[in-house]
Structure 1
Amino acid sequence: MPSDEQRTRTLRIYRYIEKNLCDEIDTSRIAEIALCPYDKFKHYFSYMTDMSVSEYIRKCRLTLVAYDLLKGHERTINLEEAEKYFYKHIADTTLM
């Protein structure tokens, strides 16, 4: 069972990722918050959430895209807006 400190650090990582979804996510910053190498954190994250860190980030970015679509009542978003979420190709937005 994770300690209170581990839970606090995990929440700080979630906040960092969610705050920086429209920017590049710095894996060294995640490792710094987690107090362990990023590779070790990736394994811990996958074990705890049953998804990879990159999958979590992709899903969060897709959620932001969906929110923007709903908020603007638009049917599509333009390429500039997609790039805001680091989607350079339409294949990057597909759900597997």
Structure 2
Amino acid sequence: SYLRFVLDDLDGNAVLASAAYNAGPSRPRQWRSTLPRAVEGAIFAETIPFNETRDYVKKVMSNTVYYAALFENRAQSLKERLGVIGPKPAGTTDLP
């Protein structure tokens, strides 16, 4: 599926993948390339320049925590789920 391609393309990072799913794959690559250092996923999400994408990422990530606890009996903090995002050159992608 497209989401799997996006997730694989962005090193398995769910924050970046959800942003890419909403804003297109090149956008989170570009945003990540401008990071001066690694940042918490929550900080990265708050700096997404598009309101719609920023809200989408926050909703998707908070819902993954909720549903993991509900259906998998697996409690996880949102901070843990968001992880850390480090800088990486934007490069290119084969994604449409």
TM over 0.5: no
For the aligned pair, the TM-score class normalised by the smaller chain equals: 0.3 to 0.5
* RCO comparison, higher one (Cα < 8 Å, 6+): 2
More helix by share: 1
Computing the radius of gyration over CA atoms, which structure comes out larger, 1 or 2? 1
Q: State the TM-score, normalized to the length of structure 2.
A: 0.34
